[in-house]
Amino acid sequence: MPDQFEALRQAIEAAPLDSEEAVDRFRIAYLSRKQGRITELLKQIPSVPPDERKAFGRQVNLLKRRVEERIEEAKARLRTARTTPKPEIDLTLPGRRPLTGSIHPLTRTLEDIKRVFGSYGFDVAEGPEIEDDWHNFTALNFPPDHPARDMQDTFFLEPPDRPHGGILLRTHTSPVQIRVMESQPPPYRVIVPGRVYRNESISYKSYCLFHQVEGLCVDEGVTLGDLKQILHVFARALFGDDVKMRFRPSFFPFTEPSAEVDIWWPDPADPAGGRWLEILGCGMVDPNVLEAVNVDPERYTGYAFGMGIERIAMLRYDIKDIRLFYENDVRFLEQF
């Protein structure tokens, strides 16, 4: 007898109730009124000898309850499986957009500047960010101890009074004028983009590093008229054909005469209003500079200019704080 119950118990536990049909078949096999196996056993109870009847009846009822439990369990499980959506691929959903990044506004501005001057035959030259006194100052006609050196507060790596002193973070891109002219004979027609460093107090409008583009053109017969023309072309390309531009006399040791160039910035709120904004420095290359690099100033003349890329980008994109360029905050960068 115990064996019979044990075999039945194992069969009940092992039945795989993985579909509604399987559950139905299971219920019929055990509980159906006609030939269900549990039903048969229940029918036998009255004929079991009285001293075994109680134990027999208990066993049968335990098995019956187990069959019912398994059926309830399986039904519940199949019901949730039916109502929970399967993790399928939904081809109608929009795709996930890849992060593409964008071009930094300084790079973009520089690319535009390169394009304008490139179309007028200017090559791109570069030079080191760590310079010596000769290239950053002396060859550019800043005499030693001349107050013009104080126009740019400088980061020295070696103080000027040391034997190999005067090593510094370049304060402008003009030293590359010297390097270009030292490396090959005239004519020259280059622009020089690059980083420069100054000991500025940091604020919305100045930072300890920034970027410049230098321009240099030296050939026979180059005049101030050529300088004005190329700068006008440049200003129109970057700020629009109706840009108003003026030359304001200024001083740089390495150009003579020298000027600063301003453009007129209309006030969007007031048609009569606006102001002049300085965008670059320029002038005719000083004969002393040509002599320093052994170019004959009687035969060759030239012009040079230098502009801050940040200044131009801030005007074009209406950026109010120079520090935004260096923080790499995606919320700023993704606007370009």
Q: Tell me the chain's radius of gyration from C-alpha atoms.
A: 44
Cα–Cα distance measured from residue 300 to residue 188, given in angstroms and rounded to the nearest whole number: 10
* Binding residue for ligand PHE, selected from 138, 154, 255, 301, defined by CB under 6 A: 255
User: How far is Cα 248 from Cα 79, in angstroms, rounded to an integer?
Assistant: 85
- Is there binding between residue 190 and ligand PHE (CB under 6 A)? no
Kindly indicate which of the ranges 63-71, 142-150, 218-226, 301-309 contains the residues binding ligand PHE, using the contact rule CB under 6 A.
Answer: 301-309
Question: How many CA atoms within 13 Å lie on the side-chain side of 43?
Answer: 11
Structural contact between residues 29 and 18, judged by C-beta atoms closer than 8 angstroms: no
Q: Which of 282, 292, 295, 314 binds ligand PHE (CB under 6 A)?
A: 282
* Number of alpha carbons in the 13 Å side-chain half-sphere of residue 284: 14
Q: Among 95, 93, 174, which Cα is nearest to 135's?
A: 174
Shortest distance, position 149 Cβ to ligand PHE, whole Å: 13
324 part of the interface to ligand PHE, by CB under 6 A: no
Contact between 253 and ligand PHE (CB under 6 A)?
A: no
Q: Which is nearer to ligand PHE, 59 or 255 (CB)?
A: 255
Q: Which of 71/209 has CB closer to ligand PHE? A: 209
Q: Which stretch binds ligand PHE (CB under 6 A): 4-12, 49-57, 96-104, 300-308?
A: 300-308
Omega prior to 87 cis, within 30 of 0: no
Instruction: Name the residue nearer to ligand PHE (CB basis): 26 or 300.
Output: 300
210 binds ligand PHE (CB under 6 A): no
Taking the least distance from each CB to ligand PHE, the nearer of 74 and 261 is 261
Nearer to ligand PHE, 133 or 214 (CB): 214
Of 211, 203, 213, the C-alpha closest to 323 is: 203
- How many angstroms separate the CA atoms of 318 and 326, rounded? 16
122 binds ligand PHE (CB under 6 A): no
The answer to the question of residue 304 lying near ligand PHE (CB under 6 A) is: yes
Out of 70, 149, 170, 172, the only residue in the binding site for ligand PHE (CB under 6 A) is 172
Give how far Cα 49 sits from Cα of 40, 46, 54, 62, 238, Å: 17, 8, 9, 20, 110
**What sign does the dihedral 102-107-112-114 (CA atoms) show?**
negative
Residues 6+ apart with CB under 8 A from 157: 130, 167, 168, 169
Among 35-43, 67-75, 114-122, 299-307, which window interacts with ligand PHE (CB under 6 A)? 299-307
Interface with ligand PHE includes 305 (CB under 6 A)? yes
How many residues line the site for ligand PHE (CB under 6 A)?
A: 11
Nearer to ligand PHE, 8 or 176 (CB): 176
CA distance 23 to 74: 7
Candidates 136, 138, 141, 174: give the one binding ligand PHE (CB under 6 A): 174
Query: Which residues are near ligand PHE by CB under 6 A?
Result: 172, 174, 214, 252, 255, 281-283, 304-306
